[in-house]
């Protein structure tokens, strides 16, 4: 299998990637063509898994029944654009040169240029156990993602960007990659820096990303699937993550601040943010400024997020930790100053094990007024 994968990567690099780089005069800037080739092949594999496995599951065991999938169209377009376009270009024109500048991966016992904080620098015998080493990389990677995700919700200017991801009313297997490009840049720089510090090789890092992305594609899918009492406490399931995306409940305003894990739900258990045994709930946001994202396509989505970001990052309120909504001029307003009953979308909650009915959600562009 390893040999077949290597031949596939080399063949695509020589006959697909390299000619394009030469045509664009980028062969000296973009790193190893084989790394680009591997990344594109991995992205293609990811799209096949989403489209051929996760998408059919949404029709077989839906968490929420929709009359149409209109609002998922923009997420599908964005996923394809990210996986086969933006992410590979960003990774190998920006991240790879940065990684090389700071020493790159730990490639061997005599590699003096490797990161002094590389895991194998401190535990050399892990080099003889690649699967165990990969597991160690992933535990650190996933823990960093958990805390980064919590910060995305707690820091108003970052929530201004990340809220684009949460604004979707039809959470599906394509929702994971829905997000602001600015937000994506910040996330990528943080996670890539962690990879560089750990000494992860480029192809290993691509597989780290793939594992996380596939789990997130599945956890965002519109399916009512859980992993049982034991494994639900270890791994993120679609039912577990759906609660993270639920609409605010004015009677329990902090309920949705939960389930931040990417792959391992154990972080939520350890740090007290895990929520279980709640009925399936509609997803989206109550803030009309953010909910307005659903009225726009790819460009409009990013423009909305950029306006929220600019309205937050230039104000003192944008740097104060806490949950916010956005008022006139995209000024962040702490939610404890708002009438949550006025913001909430009022929908009927079904029994716990029943699919959600099709919901009609009002769209409001009114400015938020303080209570």
pLDDT single digits (tens) 42-53: 888 888 999 999
Residue 268 lies in a domain: yes
Comparing 293-302, 305-314, 323-332, 354-363, the range with the smallest average pLDDT is 354-363
Taking the C-alpha atoms of residue 348 and residue 343, their distance in angstroms, rounded to an integer, is: 16
Residue 234 lies in a domain: yes
Residue 356 lies in a domain: no
Query: pTM score, two decimals?
Result: 0.81
Please give the helix or strand (H or E) that residue 324 lies within, else none.
strand 324-326
Scan for tokens 């960003």, then name that residue: 90
> Which segments within 141-191 are labelled E, that is strand?
none
* Contact (CB, 8 A) for 245 and 178: no
Taking the C-alpha atoms of residue 323 and residue 344, their distance in angstroms, rounded to an integer, is: 15
* Contact (CB, 8 A) for 193 and 144: no
Q: Provide the domain limits for residue 193.
A: 2-343
Q: Which tokens sit at 85?
A: 């376009």
To 10 degrees, what angle do helices 73-81 and 298-313 make?
Answer: 80
Residue 352 lies in a domain: no
- For residue 263, pLDDT over 50 is answered with yes
Listed in sequence order, the residues at least 6 apart from 231 whose beta carbon sits closer than 8 Å to its beta carbon are: 237
Q: Which tokens sit at 360?
A: 């009609």
Handedness of CA 31, 37, 42, 46 (dihedral sign): positive
Scan for tokens 């639920």, then name that residue: 246
224-250 tens-digit pLDDT: 999 998 999 999 999 999 999 998 888
Residue 163 lies in a domain: yes
Q: What is the share, in percent, of the chain residues with pLDDT greater than 90? A: 39
Residue 359 lies in a domain: no
Taking the C-alpha atoms of residue 290 and residue 361, their distance in angstroms, rounded to an integer, is: 14
The string of DSSP codes covering 254-270 is: TTTS----SSBTHHHHH
Query: Which is more confidently placed, 160 or 250?
Result: 160
What is residue 189's predicted lDDT score, i.e. its pLDDT?
Answer: 82
Q: Which residues is 283 bridged to in the sheet? A: 246
How many domains does one find in the chain?
A: 1
Residue 360 lies in a domain: no
What is residue 343's predicted lDDT score, i.e. its pLDDT?
Answer: 66
> Residue 103 — left, alpha, or beta (φ > 0 → left; ψ -120 to 50 → alpha)?
left
What is residue 5's predicted lDDT score, i.e. its pLDDT?
Answer: 75
Give the range with max mean pLDDT: 146-160, 226-240, 253-267: 146-160
- For residue 154, pLDDT over 50 is answered with yes
Residue 285 lies in a domain: yes
Within 324-371, where are the H helices? 340-343
């Amino acid at each position: 299998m390893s040999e077949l994968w290597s031949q596939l990567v080399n063949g695509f690099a020589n006959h697909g990637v390299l000619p394009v780089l030469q045509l664009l005069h980028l062969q000296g800037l973009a790193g190893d063509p084989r790394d680009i080739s591997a990344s594109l092949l991995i992205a293609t594999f990811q799209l096949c898994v989403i489209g051929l496995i996760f998408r059919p599951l949404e029709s077989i065991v839906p968490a929420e029944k929709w009359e149409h999938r209109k609002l998922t169209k923009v997420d599908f377009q964005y996923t394809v654009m990210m996986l086969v376009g933006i992410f590979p270009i960003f990774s190998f024109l920006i991240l790879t040169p940065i990684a090389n500048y700071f020493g790159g991966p730990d490639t061997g016992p005599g590699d003096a240029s490797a990161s002094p904080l590389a895991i194998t620098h401190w535990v050399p015998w892990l080099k003889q156990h690649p699967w165990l080493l990969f597991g160690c990389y992933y535990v650190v990677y996933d823990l960093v993602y958990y805390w980064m995700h919590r910060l995305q919700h707690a820091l108003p200017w970052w929530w201004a960007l990340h809220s684009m991801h949460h604004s979707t009313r039809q959470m599906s297997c394509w929702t994971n990659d829905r997000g602001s490009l600015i937000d994506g840049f910040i996330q990528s720089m943080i996670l890539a820096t962690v990879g560089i510090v750990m000494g992860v090789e480029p192809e290993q890092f691509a597989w780290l990303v793939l594992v996380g992305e596939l789990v997130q594609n599945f956890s965002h899918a519109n399916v009512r699937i859980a992993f049982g009492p034991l494994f639900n406490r270890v791994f993120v399931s679609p039912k577990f993550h759906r609660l993270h995306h639920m609409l605010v409940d004015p009677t329990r305003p902090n309920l949705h601040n939960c389930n931040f894990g990417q792959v391992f739900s154990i972080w939520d258990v350890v740090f007290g943010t895990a929520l279980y045994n709640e009925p399936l709930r509609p997803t989206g946001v109550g803030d009309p400024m953010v909910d307005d994202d659903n009225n726009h396509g790819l460009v409009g989505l990013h423009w909305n997020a950029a306006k929220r970001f600019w309205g937050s990052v230039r104000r003192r309120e944008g740097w104060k930790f806490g949950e916010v909504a956005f008022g006139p001029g995209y000024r962040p307003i702490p939610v404890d100053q708002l009438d949550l009953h006025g913001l909430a979308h009022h929908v009927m909650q079904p029994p716990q094990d029943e699919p959600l009915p099709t919901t009609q959600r009002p769209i409001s562009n009114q400015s938020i007024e303080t209570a």
